C-alpha cells in the first residue's frame, strides 16, 4: 500500500464540480484583484473564527509580518516565540527588525507559559504563541502575562483553524490571529494564501492598506510603505467553497485521530498526541507521535509506503543560516528527535489508517524481539 502524507487529488475529485465552476466564473469575469470573492471569504472566515474582521493576505508568513508592522513592533523590541514551531513565526520577527526571544515548549508541543514569564524584559513588546498541530496553546496564563506587562499577543493559528480553548476559538483571543491557506493546511488553497482575524478595527484597517502597498484605493492616498500581499481573488473563490466543508472535515479528522488512538494506545514507548485536558478542543491538523527510535521508526514507515513528515528533526534555531543563537531548549531538543507526523486528512480511508496502525505495531514487535 502507498499512503500519501496529503492527498489533494482526492479533495479535488470530491469538489471538482464546484471548484471548476468557481474557476470559470472568476476567469470569465476577469476578477483577479480584491473582488467580491475576497470580501465574501473574509466575511466567512470572520464568522467562522468569531471575530469582527478578517483580512486576506498572501501567506501565513505575511499575516505574522503585517501584524507586527501594524502593531508598530520593530528595531529595539523583543518578541517571545516558541523554540518548536515552523520557522516563519520567528523569521517574521527578524524581518521587522525586532529580536526573537525563543522559549521552550511543553509536552503538548506548545509554548510553556512559565518560560514566557521568565523571558520578559523591559524590551518585550509581544508574545507569539503558536497553536501547533491543531491544539491551542495555554492562552489564559499567556494573556495574563501580557496584560500585566502591557504587551500584545499575536496568535500564530496557522495550524489550528476551528480549535478552541475554554470554548474560545483560535485566532479570536490575541490582537490578531494569523492564518495560512498553504495547500496542505486544514483549509488549503491552490497556492499560497493567508489572513489575519481581529476585533480591532484600527489593526484591520492598517493591514488592509499595508497589503496594498499602503494605498487607500478609495482616495489614492498612500498611508504606509506597505507591500504587495493580497489574497488572490481566485484563491478566495476556491476557499469560499472549501470553508463550507470545514466543520465536516474537522469531525472526520477527529474520528481518524480517535481511530489512531484506539489502535496505537497499547504500544508501550510510543507517545500519542492525546492530552486529557478538557479545556482544549483539538482539530488535528497533524497527528504527531513520538518514538524514541527517531529516524529508524520514520524510515521504517517510509519503507512500507507510508509518507510521514519529519521536518522538525533539526530544530530551526540550529540552522546556521538563520543566525539565531545556540542555546539549549531541553523539551524541544528531545521531542525533535522523536516526532513523526502520520498522514491525517478527511479523505484518508479507514483501511489506510488500519494499515498504518498495523505497520507501527509490527515495527515495535520487531524491535523488541
Ligand atoms: C504554515 C505555517 C506558517 C506559515 O504559513 P505560510 O502560508 O506557509 O507562509 C506559519 N506558522 C505556522 C505554525 C505554520 O504552520
pLDDT (average), residues 219-235? 96
Gap from CA of 312 to ligand 1 centroid (Å) = 14
Please check the confidence at residue 328 and state whether its pLDDT lies above 90.
no
Ligand 1, atom 2, lies closest to the CA of: 158
Please check the confidence at residue 304 and state whether its pLDDT lies above 90.
yes
pLDDT (average), residues 134-139? 98
| Among the listed residues 73, 184, 53, the one whose alpha carbon sits nearest the alpha carbon of residue 128 | 73
**Ligand 1 atom closest to Cα of 285?**
15
Please tell me if the CB atom of residue 134 comes closer than 6 angstroms to any atom of ligand 1: no
pLDDT range class, residue 217, cuts 50, 70, 90 = confident
Please tell me if the CB atom of residue 53 comes closer than 6 angstroms to any atom of ligand 1: no
Specify the pLDDT at position 7: 94
CB 53 within 8 A of CB 105: no
Please tell me if the CB atom of residue 59 comes closer than 6 angstroms to any atom of ligand 1: yes
DSSP strand pairing (176-180 vs 164-165): unpaired
pLDDT digits (tens, 9 = 90+) for 24-43: 999 999 999 989 999 999 99
Please check the confidence at residue 81 and state whether its pLDDT lies above 80.
yes
Please check the confidence at residue 327 and state whether its pLDDT lies above 90.
no
pLDDT (average), residues 292-303? 97
pLDDT (average), residues 132-147? 98
**Burial group, residue 322, by CB count within 10 angstroms (0-12, 13-18, 19+):** middle
Mutate to test the pocket of ligand 1, among 66, 95, 128, 159 (most ligand atoms within 8 A of CB): 159
**Ligand 1 atom closest to Cα of 131?**
13
Number of helical H runs and strand E runs in the chain: 11, 12
Mutate to test the pocket of ligand 1, among 63, 174, 182, 227 (most ligand atoms within 8 A of CB): 182
pLDDT digits (tens, 9 = 90+) for 142-196: 999 999 999 999 999 999 999 999 999 999 999 999 999 999 999 999 999 999 9
Please tell me if the CB atom of residue 82 comes closer than 6 angstroms to any atom of ligand 1: no
Please check the confidence at residue 90 and state whether its pLDDT lies above 90.
yes
Mean pLDDT of the chain: 96
The rounded Cα 286 to chain-centroid distance in angstroms is 10
Specify the pLDDT at position 276: 79
What nine digits make up the cell of 243? 470553508
Name the residue with cell 504587495: 228
Please check the confidence at residue 368 and state whether its pLDDT lies above 90.
no
| Among the listed residues 219, 198, 210, the one whose alpha carbon sits nearest the alpha carbon of residue 152 | 198
pLDDT digits (tens, 9 = 90+) for 47-70: 999 999 999 999 999 999 999 999
Please tell me if the CB atom of residue 93 comes closer than 6 angstroms to any atom of ligand 1: no
CB 206 within 8 A of CB 33: no
Please check the confidence at residue 84 and state whether its pLDDT lies above 80.
yes
Proportion of the chain above pLDDT 70, given as a percent = 100
Please check the confidence at residue 215 and state whether its pLDDT lies above 90.
yes
DSSP strand pairing (124-127 vs 280-281): unpaired
CA torsion through residues 287, 328, 320, 156, sign: positive
**Ligand 1 atom closest to Cα of 194?**
7
The rounded Cα 143 to chain-centroid distance in angstroms is 19
Please check the confidence at residue 369 and state whether its pLDDT lies above 80.
no
The arrangement of strands across the sheet holding 164-165 comes to 168-169, 164-165, 280-281
| Among the listed residues 62, 144, 160, the one whose alpha carbon sits nearest the alpha carbon of residue 108 | 160
Please tell me if the CB atom of residue 130 comes closer than 6 angstroms to any atom of ligand 1: yes
Please tell me if the CB atom of residue 89 comes closer than 6 angstroms to any atom of ligand 1: yes
Residue-level length of the chain? 369
Name the residue with cell 496594498: 212
Amino acid at each position: 500500500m502507498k499512503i500519501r502524507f496529503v492527498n489533494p487529488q482526492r479533495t479535488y475529485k470530491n469538489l471538482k464540480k464546484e471548484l471548476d465552476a468557481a474557476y470559470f466564473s472568476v476567469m470569465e469575469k476577469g476578477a483577479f484583484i480584491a473582488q467580491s470573492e475576497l470580501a465574501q471569504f473574509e466575511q466567512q472566515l470572520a464568522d467562522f473564527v468569531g471575530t469582527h474582521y478578517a483580512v486576506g493576505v498572501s501567506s501565513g508568513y505575511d499575516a505574522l509580518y503585517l501584524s507586527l508592522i501594524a502593531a508598530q513592533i520593530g528595531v529595539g523590541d523583543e518578541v517571545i516565540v516558541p523554540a518548536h514551531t515552523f520557522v516563519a513565526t520567528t523569521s517574521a520577527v527578524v524581518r521587522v527588525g525586532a529580536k526573537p526571544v525563543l522559549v521552550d515548549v511543553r509536552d503538548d508541543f506548545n509554548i510553556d507559559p512559565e518560560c514566557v514569564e521568565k523571558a520578559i524584559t523591559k524590551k518585550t513588546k509581544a508574545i507569539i504563541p503558536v497553536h501547533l498541530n491543531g491544539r491551542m496553546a495555554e492562552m489564559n496564563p499567556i494573556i495574563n502575562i501580557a496584560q500585566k506587562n502591557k504587551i500584545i499577543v499575536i496568535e500564530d493559528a496557522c495550524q489550528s483553524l476551528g480549535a478552541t480553548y475554554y470554548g474560545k476559538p483560535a485566532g479570536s483571543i490575541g490582537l490578531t490571529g494569523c492564518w495560512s491557506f498553504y495547500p496542505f493546511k486544514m483549509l488549503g488553497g491552490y497556492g499560497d494564501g493567508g489572513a489575519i482575524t481581529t476585533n480591532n478595527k484600527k489593526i484591520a484597517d492598517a493591514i488592509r492598506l499595508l497589503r496594498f502597498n499602503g494605498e487607500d484605493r478609495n482616495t489614492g492616498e498612500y498611508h504606509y510603505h506597505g507591500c504587495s500581499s493580497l489574497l488572490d481573488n481566485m484563491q478566495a473563490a476556491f476557499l469560499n467553497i472549501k470553508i463550507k466543508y470545514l466543520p465536516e472535515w474537522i469531525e472526520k479528522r477527529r474520528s481518524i485521530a480517535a481511530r489512531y488512538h484506539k489502535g496505537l494506545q497499547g504500544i508501550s514507548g510510543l507517545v500519542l498526541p492525546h492530552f486529557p485536558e478538557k479545556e482544549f478542543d483539538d482539530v488535528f491538523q497533524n497527528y504527531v507521535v513520538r518514538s524514541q527510535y527517531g529516524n529508524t521508526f520514520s524510515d521504517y514507515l517510509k519503507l512500507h509506503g507510508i509518507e510521514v513528515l519529519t521536518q522538525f528533526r533539526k530544530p530551526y534555531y540550529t540552522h546556521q543560516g538563520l543566525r539565531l543563537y545556540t542555546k539549549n531548549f531541553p523539551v524541544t531538543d528531545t521531542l525533535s528527535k522523536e516526532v513523526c507526523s502520520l498522514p491525517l486528512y478527511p479523505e484518508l480511508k479507514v483501511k489506510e489508517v488500519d494499515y498504518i496502525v498495523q505497520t507501527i505495531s509490527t515495527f515495535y514487535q520487531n524491535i523488541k524481539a
